[in-house]
Chain A
Amino acid sequence: MRRARRWLPGLLLVSPSIVAIGVFVYGLIFWNARVAVSGKHDEVTPPGFDGGKNFVDLWDQPSWPGAVRNALVFTAVFVAGALLLGAFLAFLMDKGVRAEASFRVVYLFPMAVSFIAAGVVWRWLLNPAPADRAVGLNQLFHDTGLGSLANTWWQHPDWGMAAMALPAIWQMSGYVMALYLAGFRGVPEELREAARVDGASEWKVYRYVVFPQLRPVTLSALIILGHISLKVFDLIMAIAGKQIITYVPAVAAYVEIFDRHDPANGATIATYLLLAVAVLVIPYLVWTIRSERAR
């Protein structure tokens, strides 16, 4: 009884959260998985059980393989681009620029804009109209004599998704910068000085002393960017809407559920998305728990 007095109030305090998360997160994940294997391809058929057949059949949907390919291209370009640009900006900041605070604000600012609002502007910026009707970036290129740089952006049939990653890089690289800058500032000055005394060049100081200590930062950034990228939906809808050329899994799920009225396909896509994010997040969680225990 006395022991219960120690743990009971705490449990009571958190139990609403536990119940809510249990129902609204894990309960809904379970329900989604149930629909995915239900064979319920319209709203009238009562749910049955198709033994996961739909996870295979989905690949015969003409729009699905392209959506997966688009998501992979987008993820590769966006994650690499945002990491490199963010690290580079942080490096410049760390080297000391005048008015660092205002630069920091400028680079972080896009984070304050939602994907959906930024998308409206980027749709105009990335318009592929030819020279005489050009607007946005293409017009800028033509007017400054850089006409050869003008291109079809996201409407390129093969690599359009790489252009689609530009707005996302613009939006998230400031955040990556902030992560790295915090990491840089956390590296004790004594370590750098010791390296310099040993005759290391400034590049070598970063290459061999600073960056190796930032592995946790890089990993966090990778996880955060990676899961944003796999789930990307609002940016695509704002720029392109539901057009096959920029299909990604989240858009495909939306179309399956709301346009095609096929709940099983939509739930299957959602399950694939959850698995893809889990592949990223679970190793990270395992690693975090292990390193915290080691401490």
Chain B
Amino acid sequence: MFGRTRRGAAGRGRTMSFAAAALAGVLALAGCGGDGGSDDGSEVEVFSWWTGPGEAEGLTALQALFEKQNPGTKFVNAAIAGGSGTQAKAVLASRLQNRKPPDSFQGHAGAELLDYIKAGQIEPLNDFYDENGLRDVYPKQLLDQITYKGNIYSVPVNVHRSNVLWFNPGILEDAGVDGPPATIDAFIEALKAVDAETDKVPLSLGAQWTADHLLENVLLGSLGTDAYNALWQPGANWNTPAVKGALDDFAEIMKYTTAEAASTDWQGAAKAVVDGRAAFNIMGDWAYGYFVNPAPNGLAKKQGTDFDHAPAPGTDGTYMWLSDSFTLPENAPHRGGALAWLKTVSSKEGQDAFNPKKGSIPARTDGDESLYKGYLEYAFNEWNKPDIELAGSFWHGVTANNKWHTDIDTAVGLFLQHKDPAKLQEALVTAAQNSGR
């Protein structure tokens, strides 16, 4: 009897909420009917996944600048939490499919945007680039990389570096390791030394995606920049002895990682280094802001004593880049507000307000160098070096489209269980073939 009453009540509740949803749908349709894709600048809803330490402060700084420049425009922050944007992208996908886009959304510049482009969900921004003279202020290589069939679809606000080795100088000293290792072989030797000489974790690791991040760094360090870049071209061959060698290195390095990796995200893994529980961690340079920013959003640690950094082993002279960028969705409800937002994002002032907080450097070449201290000064100079080589980060959306990206993630997840580099290579070959590139 009890069961039957309950079911009835639940049924009624469901009907009510369906009615409400249907009503909301009708109202939304009526709202769209007015003047779709107007130049309404009264508001701008900005969708991102910047809620974590460092990145949230950067967004706040950018918002403050935007509100000063556009006093008549209401800024709505639609940020959704989750490392690497994994949750946010799901919410975004459903909003785009329901034709309810935000006015501008964050996306990694490069192949990650391909699905949105092919589905006609974002507008080309060529005119915006021309009107604002942006083609001369971004590096040509960067623009070439994010151009798809002659069109640019996003405005990069920053550049991050993926290939950074974070280490704890004290533990290296205890282990008798003479400075950060410069090659993959030296790295493996150093991991062995830490394992043998200390009771610390040689290489801290987090949830599955941080293993993907480690994989791209080992591939780059082991294969070299040209061979790494070639892997992401259409028809690339992953079934080579060189890739096999890199994956063997990857399997060897994985032996020295944390047993509880899957229980923590990148913050927990990076924190282990500055807290003196792990010797090394390979993570993008967003870890820097987390390390040095004051509490509660950072750990207030000192570079040089608590931690230090080096190029990931074997990758000196190469900048494995990724870039956060903003887009203009088709039928953005407040197109005028969105364009004003993109203008702030692409401006020198905007990028110089955002990047010191976020722990990244401007994608523009004319940033104010004096604002970037410690690691960031190093990154700024590396990015603007005339002879720097660029490699796109696959995990962070530059080189692999969504399908390929997920299939590599699956291959790595299975590898974490079977630990067999040959099987991993087989899966990566299949993933490359199925990528549709």
A residues with a Cβ closer than 8 A to B are 16-17, 20-21, 24, 42-44, 62-63, 66, 123-124, 126-130, 132-133, 152, 155, 157, 182, 220, 240-245, 247, 254-255, 257-262
Contacts and interface: CB of A to CB of B under 8 A. Distances in A.
Given A17-B15, A63-B413, A254-B90, A261 B115 contact: yes
Contact of A243 (B97, B199, B207): B207
Residue of A124, A130, A155, A259 ringed by the most chain B CB atoms within 10 A: A259
Contacts of B2: 182
Given A63-B413, A240-B262, A259-B409, 4 more contacts: A21-B14, A44-B119, A126-B263, A261-B402
Contacts of A152: 259
Contacts of B409: 259
B282 to A, nearest CB: 19
Contacts of B410: 62-63, 244
Contacts of B413: 63, 243-245, 247
Contact of A44 (B90, B118, B406, B427): B118
Contact of A242 (B86, B115, B427): B86
B208 interface: yes
B262 A259 contact: no
B3 A220 contact: yes
Interface in B384-422: 402-403, 405-407, 409-411, 413-414, 416-418
B43 to A, nearest CB: 27
Interface string B87-104: 001100110010000000
Contact of B260 (A62, A127, A243): A127
26 contacts: A20-B18, A42-B118, A42-B403, A63-B413, A63-B414, A128-B263, A133-B260, A133-B277, A152-B259, A155-B262, A220-B3, A240-B262, A241-B208, A243-B208, A243-B262, A244-B410, A244-B413, A244-B414, A244-B417, A245-B208, A259-B90, A260-B402, A260-B403, A260-B406, A261-B403, A262-B403
Given A42-B115, A44-B119, A128-B259, A157 B417 contact: yes
Contact of A17 (B11, B119, B258, B417): B11
Nearest to B12: A17
A245 B93 contact: no
A241 B90 CA distance: 13
A245 B199 contact: no
B365 to A, nearest CB: 34
B93 A261 contact: yes
Contacts of A243: 207-208, 262, 413
B19 interface: yes
B15 A20 contact: yes
Interface in B1-37: 2-3, 11-12, 14-15, 18-19
A209 to B, nearest CB: 23
Contacts of B3: 220
A259 B89 contact: yes
B427 A62 contact: yes
A129 B3 CA distance: 43
Given A17-B11, A43-B97, A258 B260 contact: no
Given A20-B19, A261-B93, A245 B259 contact: no
Given A43-B97, A133-B260, A152-B259, A62 B411 contact: yes
A17 B16 CA distance: 9
A245 B259 CA distance: 14
Contacts of B118: 42-44
B19 A16 contact: yes
A130 B257 CA distance: 12
A35 to B, nearest CB: 12
B267 to A, nearest CB: 14
A115 B306 CA distance: 38
A17 B18 CA distance: 10
Contacts of B262: 155, 240, 243, 245
A258 B18 contact: no
A130 B427 CA distance: 31
Residue of B15, B410, B411 ringed by the most chain A CB atoms within 10 A: B410
A244 B412 CA distance: 9
Nearest to B404: A260
Nearest to A240: B262
Contacts of B411: 62
Contacts of A157: 417-418
Contacts of A241: 86, 207-208
Given A20-B19, A62-B410, A260-B403, A245 B90 contact: no
B15 A255 contact: no
A46 B199 CA distance: 58
Contacts of B208: 241-245
A288 to B, nearest CB: 10
B377 to A, nearest CB: 34
Contacts of A62: 407, 410-411, 414, 427, 430
A257 B418 CA distance: 26
B416 A245 contact: yes
Nearest to A153: B263
Contact of A245 (B97, B405, B417, B427): B417
B339 to A, nearest CB: 26
Nearest to A43: B119
Contacts of A21: 11, 14-15
B297 to A, nearest CB: 20
Residue of B14, B97, B417, B436 ringed by the most chain A CB atoms within 10 A: B417
A86 B418 CA distance: 37
Contacts of A220: 3
Nearest to A262: B403
Contacts of A262: 403
Nearest to B121: A43
Nearest to A257: B93
Contacts of B207: 241, 243
A244 B416 contact: yes
